[in-house]
Structure 1
């Protein structure tokens, strides 16, 4: 396993390590754009509001329910579907009605993604519309082969193993020639078990400014091959 040192310099990642990679798979939120952008805070607040209204709960109780669903089921939506049989389309439309101008275009990242050899995919627990709007604002949408979203996954979110199987089967991804980029360590366990290389995206300078503490658990696990807090620099180093 590659040592986790020089986070910003990504000194341990070399072109030789990725020479055989054909498929580059990227999570969306807090991965393609940095966590400090805090775009997901808008979605988070709207999820709390949805839960509060749907279950007739005060805001603080609704947030506890929301976070409990997120941790146990992978997404708040999955918990609501399993325990309350809600309409997923209504939920997704409501929570993704946000201001995407919070994201600054990143031409440097776009150039690095464009220059990668092989196919590039977005693999997200959000829906396609959210992914397209986010990637378009970031300036990277046109560089991706496809977006595999929660709808394509049959509403079963990462880190469920069946969802990775569905993605890889649909696009005929050979695990040994693929790499996955994610901001949640637990979401990289299955890809690593399948034989993919794994890259964990962490907040700049490891600042834990946003997110729940448990989201960062497992960062030092054996299923993490590389760690970086600068995606564009990392891609440049392995190209």
Structure 2
């Protein structure tokens, strides 16, 4: 599926709620912002579990794959209270992010409500939106704490989000950078959009993170979120 071809956009006419992941979705993965979080997660593990960098990396990625987030793994395997972890790993420099006026205009033009659903913290989401110039454009930020620290792709996390936001999944669209996080939304009738990096050589990911990109639960693929949303707005505009 090409990230430059947008078929069947008229299906978005029934969408009332637009739901966006945060990291590597609302901002391009090529900004490399998440590498700071990734490094701080590793440092946290080294300190907490008394591991060297190599061993900490193995634990970090194992927990991330098995539990949805490294934090969830630490909570289950070690009984870690989540607050200190979230404060530490999101204490980063957000300056690599620049204002995104095209994205802001496209978001404003979407009919209905707009949400952020993230496995990160609300404060981190707020700081990202401030840097991108997206403040005030979202009806709510549903962060990992609001989900009871249950991360995507856990089905219960989506249930909690839909209940809190009074969302009917069949009238919603989900935008994500990880294919596995689109499975549950698609099963419930949501339109799903996978946001992929433009420069894949500059973005280092585990092989499993790409699994499912071409599966039926991914309806659309784009490497330019603003461009895709602009095409959606034009496709669903009254004629």
Unaligned runs of 5+ in 1: none
Distance 1:114 1:53 in 2: 43
Q: Which residue of 2 aligns with 1:182?
A: 176
Q: Which residue of 2 aligns with 1:92?
A: 86
Q: Which residue of 2 aligns with 1:58?
A: 52
Distance 2:202 2:182 in 1: 19
- CA RMSD after TM alignment: 1.1
Q: Which residue of 1 aligns with 2:17?
A: 23
Q: Secondary structure at the match of 2:95?
A: helix
Q: Which residue of 1 aligns with 2:106?
A: 112
Q: Which residue of 2 aligns with 1:37?
A: 31
Distance 2:61 2:39 in 1: 11
Of 207, 212, 219 in structure 2, the residue corresponding to residue 225 of structure 1 is 219
Unaligned runs of 5+ in 2: 234-239
Q: Which residue of 2 aligns with 1:161?
A: 155
Q: TM-score, normalised by structure 1?
A: 0.95
Aligned residues: 233
| CA distances 1:138-191 after superposition (whole Å, capped 9, x unpaired) | 111210000000000001000000010010011110111100000000000000
Of 38, 41, 48 in structure 2, the residue corresponding to residue 47 of structure 1 is 41
Distance 1:175 1:212 in 2: 29
Q: Which residue of 2 aligns with 1:137?
A: 131
Deviating 4+ runs (over 6 angstroms): none
Q: Which residue of 1 aligns with 2:146?
A: 152
Alpha-carbon shift at residue 60 of structure 1 (Å): 0.8
